[in-house]
């Protein structure tokens, strides 16, 4: 087998998108995944993820614009619908821990249309949601749902179609920087010697950085999402309920019914950043009953008809201290590029894959990634304050 130009480590959404974007640009790329494709041990499995424009900084709002465009390219190439536009509500209670002003200012600065509604106006339009009067709701009509497991599989299918070699059940044991001679990528099967490596290993990232004498301050949490069975699923359909995010601490979010893998009549909801600290290999798959009780208590008054919890799934967040992405070279090892989604990267996967492909090919990209530099203060200053809710 000929030596590839690039090896991508990790077959989740970011790695698969990077392999797709690299192969589309004509690069000879090999993607290596330690488990079987479609596994449920990382962060890219399950039914659904939120794609939205409403973010707390203009840089993210602009990046979301790129993401919508890249999802459309992927849909067209794959001949498959991936983006289901349902609208989204950011719900800010009085004295919310997450300031609405950042969202309003960022959407305004980027010319993205939105509405500001009261609790009563929201409940009048979407009767499934019962809100206190003094809620400020920001409604953005383009908020959408993208399929997690199916979307990742589509990226892999398109990467193969563009010529990428995707190998699963092949763990990368070590990366050895050989300087001008490239990077030696050791696996149980064989060693590769590409000129560049893209490390999109999320919760496992530091396992591969350690032998290179590098590390990123990452916190891994075990998050869980729960499916509820409403008596009248129709009242929670995408035409009757938008995606919603409760912008406070604790923060919760939820979806209308969405028909992936037998959950079409179920309503999914979860707490954001409510998971216990864990590690990629030490995590359990058990339901955290206390977290489920907290979610159920929260949903009771907000979505009175949501029904009983019927299924809970776990998934890993890999959080940087500022919860911003990491995109760029490892200090002292410029031939190893990092891609980390910080627990909110799925919506941007096709775009982050493009950015990483640009960095491999050109060493630079036209997209503003200044906030995601691997050597930014939040990642190099010891004890940098943590802020995961923004």
Choose between 119 and 343: whose C-beta lies nearer to ligand FAD: 343
The binding track of 164-183 with respect to ligand FAD, each residue x by CB under 6 A or -, is -------xx-----------
Choose between 22 and 316: whose C-beta lies nearer to ligand FAD: 316
Determine the distance from the C-alpha atom of residue 312 to the mean position of all C-alpha atoms in its chain, rounded to a whole number. 19
Of the listed pieces 53-61, 234-242, 329-337, 344-352, which binds ligand FAD according to CB under 6 A? 344-352
Choose between 11 and 119: whose C-beta lies nearer to ligand FAD: 11
Choose between 128 and 315: whose C-beta lies nearer to ligand FAD: 315
Best CA proximity match to 10, nearest among 152, 147, 219: 152
| Minimum gap (Å) between residue 201 Cβ and ligand FAD | 4
Sequence-separated (6 or more) residues with CB below 8 Å from residue 144: 50, 51, 52, 83, 84, 85, 86, 243
Name the percent of the chain in helix, strand, coil, to the closest 5.
30, 25, 45
14 secondary structure, DSSP code: H
| Cα distances (angstroms) measured from residue 166 to each of 156, 159, 312, 371 | 8, 8, 30, 31
Structure tokens at 335: 């031939």
| Cα distances (angstroms) measured from residue 151 to each of 13, 14, 44, 197, 362 | 8, 11, 9, 23, 27
Choose between 98 and 315: whose C-beta lies nearer to ligand FAD: 315
30 binds ligand FAD (CB under 6 A): no
| Minimum gap (Å) between residue 41 Cβ and ligand FAD | 6
Answer positive or negative: Cα dihedral of 209, 210, 215, 216: positive
| Minimum gap (Å) between residue 133 Cβ and ligand FAD | 28
Choose between 55 and 119: whose C-beta lies nearer to ligand FAD: 55
The binding track of 227-266 with respect to ligand FAD, each residue x by CB under 6 A or -, is ----------------------------------------
| Minimum gap (Å) between residue 16 Cβ and ligand FAD | 7
- H or E segment at 146? strand 144-147
Choose between 62 and 123: whose C-beta lies nearer to ligand FAD: 62
Residue 174, beta-bridge partner list: 186
Q: Which of residues 9-28 bind ligand FAD (CB under 6 A)?
A: 9-15
35 binds ligand FAD (CB under 6 A): yes
7 binds ligand FAD (CB under 6 A): no
Number of residues that bind ligand FAD (CB under 6 A): 36
| Minimum gap (Å) between residue 327 Cβ and ligand FAD | 11
CA–CA distance, 260 with 246 (Å, rounded to integer): 24
Q: Which of residues 287-306 bind ligand FAD (CB under 6 A)?
A: none
Which strands, in side-by-side order, build the sheet including 165-167?
A: 165-167, 29-32, 6-9, 196-199, 333-340, 326-330
Which chain residues interact with ligand FAD by CB under 6 A? 9-15, 32-35, 42-44, 49-50, 171-172, 200-204, 208, 223, 225, 270, 315-317, 341, 343-347
């Amino acid at each position: 087998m000929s030596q590839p130009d690039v090896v991508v480590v990790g077959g989740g959404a970011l790695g698969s998108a990077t392999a797709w974007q690299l192969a589309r640009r004509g690069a000879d790329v090999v993607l290596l995944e330690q488990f079987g494709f479609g596994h449920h041990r990382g962060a890219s499995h399950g039914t659904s993820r939120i794609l939205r424009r409403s973010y707390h900084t203009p840089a993210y709002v602009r990046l979301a614009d790129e993401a919508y465009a890249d999802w459309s390219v992927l849909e067209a190439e794959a001949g498959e619908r991936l983006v289901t536009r349902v609208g989204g509500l950011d719900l800010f209670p009085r004295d919310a821990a997450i300031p609405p002003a950042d969202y309003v200012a960022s959407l305004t600065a980027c010319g993205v249309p939105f509405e500001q509604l009261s609790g009563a106006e929201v409940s009048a339009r979407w009767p499934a949601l019962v809100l206190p009067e003094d809620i400020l709701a920001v409604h953005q009509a383009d908020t959408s749902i993208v399929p997690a497991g199916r979307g990742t599989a589509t990226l892999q299918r398109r990467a193969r179609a563009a010529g990428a070699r995707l190998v699963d059940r092949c763990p990368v044991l070590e990366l050895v920087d050989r300087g001008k001679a490239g990077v030696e990528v050791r696996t149980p099967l064989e060693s590769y010697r590409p000129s560049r490596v893209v490390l999109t290993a999320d919760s496992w990232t530091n396992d591969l950085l350690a032998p290179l004498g590098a590390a990123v301050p990452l916190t891994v949490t075990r998050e869980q999402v729960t499916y509820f069975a409403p008596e009248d699923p129709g009242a929670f359909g995408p035409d009757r309920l938008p995606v919603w995010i409760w912008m406070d601490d604790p923060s919760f979010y939820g979806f209308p019914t969405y028909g992936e893998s037998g959950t079409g009549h179920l309503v999914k909801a979860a707490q954001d950043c409510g998971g216990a600290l864990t590690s990629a290999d030490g995590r359990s798959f058990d339901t955290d009953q206390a977290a489920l009780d907290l979610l159920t208590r929260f949903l009771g008054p907000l979505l009175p008809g949501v029904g009983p919890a019927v299924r809970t799934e776990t998934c890993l967040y890999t959080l940087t201290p500022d919860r911003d992405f990491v995109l760029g070279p490892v200090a002292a090892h410029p031939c190893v590029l990092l891609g980390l989604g910080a627990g909110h990267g799925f919506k941007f996967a096709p775009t982050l894959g493009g950015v990483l492909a640009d960095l491999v090919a050109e060493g630079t990209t036209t997209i503003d990634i200044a906030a995601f530099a691997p050597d930014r203060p939040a990642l190099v200053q010891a004890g940098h304050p943590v802020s995961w809710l923004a």
